[in-house]
Structure 1
Amino acid sequence: MAISIKSANQIDKMRTAGKLASSVLEMVGDHVKTGITTEKIDQICHDFIVNDLDCIPAPLNYNGFPKSICTSVNNVVCHGIPSEKKLKKGDIINIDITVIKDGYHGDTSKMFIVGKPSVKAQKICNVARDSMMLGIDMVKPGIHLGEIGKVIGDYAHSKNCSVVRDYCGHGIGEVFHELPQVIHYDDGRINQSPILEPGMTFTIEPMINLGGYEVVTSRIDGWTVTTKDRSLSAQWEHTILVTETGHEILTLRTEETN
């Protein structure tokens, strides 16, 4: 299957879906505080997505996933299932939102900090975001996709952090996960990776660990991915469009434009 090149009409729909997804993260921030459960955060986001935005929460029932969002706390790398566990001071949490509007997906995530973080917690959140932004800054027509991963990996490693290798970014549009796969480290095959063209849309979403890159998936729920060494992990995600001259962040939040 080839990498899809979106038409102008498709790009407009992707812009709409991306903006709506980002609005969920903007909305939920005030609710992320000590004592709230991730189940309650899921309910708040679900109601906002369905009732206020008139969208579909893409994760719900996707390959059997039971909730409308992913909530990954502390050493959870990704795919954390909302539960009755309460957030406490010092927790870091990734909230991952994907909505479907008029058949198109908008996918984005952000780290939230509950109260005052530890030095290590603040570091991993910062390194993860900076890694993503450095990768995004690379995006333009004519480069190899693998160049994005090299920049991300080099930066994370320079900060004595590691990049999760078991999961990657992905193409997105009418399909939640499509080509290309966006690897967030240098796999030694940069020159064999696809060359970016205008109209491509994909996510950049590096998962950065404070310790080693190895992860394990829960045998209990089959979804929750944690760091093997129990170290903290952080992730940020944006949906990106390759334009004629560079790129556009389709899920850019208002706070990021100031």
Structure 2
Amino acid sequence: MIELKTPSEVAAMKTAGRFVGSILQELKETTKVGTNLLEIDDLVRRRIEGRKGAESCYVNYAPDFGTGPFKHYICTSVNDAVLHGVPYDYNLKDGDLVSLDLAVSVDGWCGDSAVSFVVGGDPDPSDLALIACTEEALAAGIAAAQSGNRLGDISAAVGDVAHEHGYTVNMEFGGHGIGHVMHGDPFVPNDGKAHHGYKLRPGLTIAIEPWFMKTTDEIYQDAKDGWTLRSVDGSTGAHSEHTIAITENGPEILTLRK
């Protein structure tokens, strides 16, 4: 069921969103060559435990698309991993493309956001282009999230950017409604038909999350951890995400970073 939030509820979600954004900003600034993925997970744990009213949306989360409950505080996807990456004992190497996806509840309201970047001083230009495409697609999707538009306008805007840059789009996972729960209605695909679907109304809160892979749109689930989604051809993936609110004055980003 799609739920619309009151202005005070949107303000409460902004508190959660800014907390998520602050953690991701800290991680982007401090993650470097040699950083261990478990160190990233531990930092997030400490930030959540140090914030009154904050709870992880991931620990013990057990949806039907994973294998058993998730045991960590953040998703860390590296190179050919693009979604749901499980932190493990791995020290990042020069040129690794890292996607960090974080969702936290503060006082019962959720914020969800993701960022991708390359560590080290020798990035592959094609990786930077892929990341930039997800960021451009996210901005286009947010710009289309106007009251009176349709859900398909957001999806079409995201997909159009991907196609313009030569990437194909996987439709299995995408954006979603968010509020008291991390994943709710409506589903927000990363491609679609403009002027179709649910009519956007003030108070609707959704996460928009373009994720693309360099040379494929097909993924498989890593059997070792039962969660991490990887490209079938080994090409890198990137992921950008913000939680937003539809308002009468246009879309408002609730998970802003610096």
- Using structure 2 for the length normalisation, give the TM-score: 0.94
**C-alpha offsets along residues 116-143 of structure 1, whole Å, 9 cap, x if unaligned?**
3111111111111111111111111111
CA contact (8 A) 1:94 1:235 kept: yes
> What residue identity is the alignment partner of 2:174?
C
In structure 2, what is the equivalent of residue 206 of structure 1?
210
In the alignment, structure 1 residue 8 sits paired with structure 2 residue 7: yes
Mean CA deviation greater in 4-13 or 78-87: 4-13
Partner Cα separation in structure 1 for residue 4 and residue 214 of structure 2: 36
Rounded Cα–Cα distance in structure 2 between residues aligned with 1:120 and 1:232? 9
User: Counterpart amino acid of 1:249?
Assistant: I
Partner of 1:90: 95
The structural deviation recorded for 1:219 is 2.2
In the alignment, structure 1 residue 110 sits paired with structure 2 residue 109: no
Pairwise mapping of residues 214-229 of structure 1 onto structure 2 (< 5 A)? Answer: 214-229=218-233
Inter-partner Cα distance in structure 1 for 2:39 and 2:172: 29
Q: Which of the residues 158, 162, 165 maps onto 2:171?
A: 165
Q: In the alignment, does 2:7 pair up with 1:22?
A: no
Q: Secondary structure at the match of 2:50?
A: helix
TM-score (normalizing by structure 1): 0.94
1:151 and 1:30 mapped to 2: Cα distance?
Answer: 30
Number of residue-to-residue matches in the alignment: 251
2:133 to 116, 127, 134: 127
- Structure 1 contact 50–57 (Cα < 8 Å) conserved: no
Give, as a single letter, the amino acid of the residue that structure 1 aligns with 2:103.
T
Alignment of 1:145-160 (within 5 A): 145-160=151-166
Q: 1:253: Cα distance to partner?
A: 1.1
* Matching of residues 8-87 of structure 1 within 5 Å: 8-52=7-51, 54-63=53-62, 64-87=69-92
Q: Deviations over 1:154-195 (max 9, x none)?
A: 111111112221101000000111111001112x5x554101
Q: Is the 8 A contact 2:243 2:253 kept in 1?
A: yes
Task: Answer with 100-109 or 23-32: which moved more.
Answer: 23-32
Instruction: Work out whether 1:195 is the aligned partner of 2:199.
Output: yes
Q: Is 1:243 the equivalent of 2:242?
A: no
Distance 1:242 1:71, change over 3 A: same
CA displacement, residues 196-219 of structure 1 (integer Å, 9 cap, x when unaligned): 000000000011111111111122
1:232–1:53: structure 2 CA closer, same or farther, 3 Å change rule?
farther
SS in 2 for 1:62: coil
1:64-99: CA deviation from partner (whole Å, max 9, x where unpaired)? 011000001111110000000110000111111111
Q: State how far apart, in whole Å, the 2-side matches of 1:170 and 1:70 are.
A: 17
Q: List runs of 5+ in structure 1 lacking aligned partners.
A: none
1:176 alignment partner, one of 179, 182, 190: 182
Moved over 4 A (4+): none
Structure with more of its chain in helix, by fraction: 1
Q: Do the aligned residues in 1 keep the contact of 2:153 with 2:196 (CA within 8 Å)? A: no
> For residue 231 of structure 1, what is the aligned residue in structure 2?
235
8 Å CA contact 1:31–1:41 kept in 2: the answer is: no
Deviation at 1:53, TM superposition (A): 5.9
Q: AA paired with 1:46?
A: R
